[in-house]
Amino acid sequence: MVSQDKRFETEPLNKLILAMVIPCFMAQLINALYNIVDRIYIGRIPGEGELALTGLGLTFPILQVVVAISVFAGSGGAPLASRYFGKQDYDKAKDVLHTSVTMLIIFSIILTLGFYIAKEPLLYLFGASEQTAPYADAYLSTYLLGTIFVQFTMGLNPFISGQGNAKVAMMSTAIGAIINIILDPIFIFVFGMGIQGAALATVIAQGASALWIVRYLASSKSAIRLDFKKLGLKKDCVKTILIMGMPLVIMQLTNSIVTIVLNSGAQSYGGDMYVGAITILASIATVQYIAVDSVRQGIIPILAYNYGARNKERLMAVIKRLIIFTTSVSMIISVTILSFPETFAAIFSSDAELMSLTAKLIKVYFLGTPLFGILMSAQGCFVAFGFAKVSIFIAMIKNVVILIPGALILPHFYGVEGIFYAQPLSDMGAIITAGIALIVAVKWIIRKMDNTNIHKITRPPTFRELPVLVVNNHPVAVQTQHQQWKKLRQGRQH
């Protein structure tokens, strides 16, 4: 079991990255099928497909929040566990797992109760009309029953891939997706449940995935074994998980706010048809996102492990490959989408007017995405290194500083299409900022490894560096470095 995560420092990099990324890509693609398949079937419900699809789009902000909170475990806890793997501290990795599971259970209860109470006013706040609100309410009421399944599936699966078991992690999502694909047409069309049937199929599918993941983590096959009797909140683990997970949570939450702003603006300036177009654009963007994010997610455990092990040469080699792979993927997919907008629009709707509108908007919406891989690779590095503040800053630049103000201001000058002009502007602003931040961060990391490595001590850590050292090493390591530096200096003086 221990040898599985040892792959991160011994196996040839190209082979290792492919072994991690391909199953991760399949897992991401399969996971995306939950929503994509729902949208395809819902958009083709006879007589009400357009309204039902728009109603589904209105629930996205809430669905994004549910997924976002699971990120605390998936993108906060799992990379932290990988770093402990790199330091061979398996007991601490178990503490991280048990704390993450406990947090997911608590979050699930809060989210389910909170959204059930507030769902109706929230849906109207998000841009619902009298025609679309019933569809949104029907889907959301059923979906919320499976909140804990979503939390476990999205939050705990990275703990499996973080051990080097990417194929097992892929199977976790494949099981749910296959069940969802089978049940969707049965519930929607055969049983006549419509949009509510799509939600029920998703709940059952996510439940199956969650059961598979928990069963694996609780078995002897897992390097860190889940024991429900040991669940609880370790104070130091909670703090670090929150710090590491916060950037991507903020990114997800601001994405939710962006969806609200876009839907509300589209409803005010263009009506239900434009809200439906936003739903399709978001679906197409998901296809691009999962392809790039699968590379990032597959490489993050390797980054975190070698960062924890202080393996500078291998760390740099992984970073270079991360940037090259993510940028290549984002460029290929973006060019394909921009070249065939009608084809992508037709996947999600058979309504000629909606298809034509969406194809027109695609040419604006995706203008800034060819270099999207730079942003994703930078965020992946920041997560692996524990650079929470930098990652939060990048997320805020994209959504809060540029996209939301742009979506609110530009429609006054360009009408409803001004909402969509804000998207490429925010993409390019975030990509440029992330690229500069990544260059600075990598240079700092290399300098820190040279100057503060326990086996090569040339100076004591500065006060500003101490919090980073506490996060990335066992707390004793800070004192040890000071002591060893003093002994080394005394030896040189003699």
pLDDT digits (tens, 9 = 90+) for 311-321: 888 889 999 99
Quick one: 320 and 462 in the same domain? Answer: no
Quick one: 447 and 469 in the same domain? Answer: no
Give yes or no for residue 232 having a pLDDT over 80.
yes
Quick one: 394 and 310 in the same domain? Answer: yes
Task: Specify the range with the lowest mean pLDDT, choosing from 103-107, 274-278, 392-396.
Answer: 392-396
Per-residue confidence (pLDDT) for residue 33, from 0 to 100: 67
Quick one: 474 and 339 in the same domain? Answer: no
Confidence of residue 339 (pLDDT cuts 50, 70, 90): very high
Per-residue confidence (pLDDT) for residue 34, from 0 to 100: 66
Quick one: 466 and 325 in the same domain? Answer: no
Per-residue confidence (pLDDT) for residue 405, from 0 to 100: 94
Q: In whole angstroms, how far apart are CA 327 and each of 28, 56, 303, 330, 429?
A: 18, 31, 17, 5, 16
Per-residue confidence (pLDDT) for residue 67, from 0 to 100: 86
Quick one: 53 and 110 in the same domain? Answer: yes
Confidence of residue 98 (pLDDT cuts 50, 70, 90): very high
Written in H, E and C, the secondary structure of the chain is: CHHHHHHHHHCCHHHHHHHHHHHHHHHHHHHHHHHHHHHHHHCCCCCCHHHHHHHHHHCHHHHHHHHHHHHHHHHHHHHHHHHHHHCCCHHHHHHHHHHHHHHHHHHHHHHHHHHHHHHHHHHHHCCCCCCCHHHHHHHHHHHHHHHHHHHHHHHHHHHHHCCCCHHHHHHHHHHHHHHHHHHHHHHHHHCCCHHHHHHHHHHHHHHHHHHHHHHHHCCCCCCCCCCHHHCCCCHHHHHHHHHHHHHHHHHHHHHHHHHHHHHHHHHHHCCHHHHHHHHHHHHHHHHHHHHHHHHHHHHHHHHHHHHHCCCHHHHHHHHHHHHHHHHHHHHHHHHHHHHCHHHHHHHHCCCHHHHHHHHHHHHHHCCCCCCHHHHHHHHHHHHHHCCHHHHHHHHHHHHHHHHHHHHHHCHHHHCCHHHHHHHHHHHHHHHHHHHHHHHHHHHHHHHHHHHHCCCCCCCCCCHHHHHHHHHHCCCHHHHHHHHHHHHHHHHHHC
pLDDT 10s digits, 235-256 = 889 988 988 787 778 777 787 7
Confidence of residue 468 (pLDDT cuts 50, 70, 90): very low
- Pick 416 or 259 by higher pLDDT: 416
Domain count, the chain: 2
Per-residue confidence (pLDDT) for residue 156, from 0 to 100: 93
Quick one: 354 and 481 in the same domain? Answer: no
Range(s) of the domain holding residue 472: 453-493
Per-residue confidence (pLDDT) for residue 474, from 0 to 100: 38
Average pLDDT of the residues in 58-83: 85
Quick one: 409 and 419 in the same domain? Answer: yes
Q: CA Rg, the chain, in Å?
A: 23
Confidence of residue 322 (pLDDT cuts 50, 70, 90): very high
Per-residue confidence (pLDDT) for residue 191, from 0 to 100: 93
- What percent of the chain has a predicted confidence (pLDDT) above 90? 39
Quick one: 322 and 416 in the same domain? Answer: yes
Quick one: 439 and 458 in the same domain? Answer: no
pLDDT 10s digits, 136-180 = 999 999 999 999 999 999 899 889 887 878 788 888 888 988 899
Give yes or no for residue 488 having a pLDDT over 80.
no
Quick one: 86 and 100 in the same domain? Answer: yes
Confidence of residue 326 (pLDDT cuts 50, 70, 90): very high
Quick one: 296 and 375 in the same domain? Answer: yes
Give yes or no for residue 7 having a pLDDT over 70.
yes
- Pick 38 or 93 by higher pLDDT: 93
When the pLDDT of each residue in the chain is averaged and rounded to a whole number, the result is: 83
pLDDT 10s digits, 407-450 = 999 999 999 999 999 999 999 999 999 999 999 988 888 888 77
Whether the predicted model's global pTM rises above the 0.85 cut: no
Give yes or no for residue 471 having a pLDDT over 60.
no
Per-residue confidence (pLDDT) for residue 429, from 0 to 100: 93
Per-residue confidence (pLDDT) for residue 470, from 0 to 100: 35
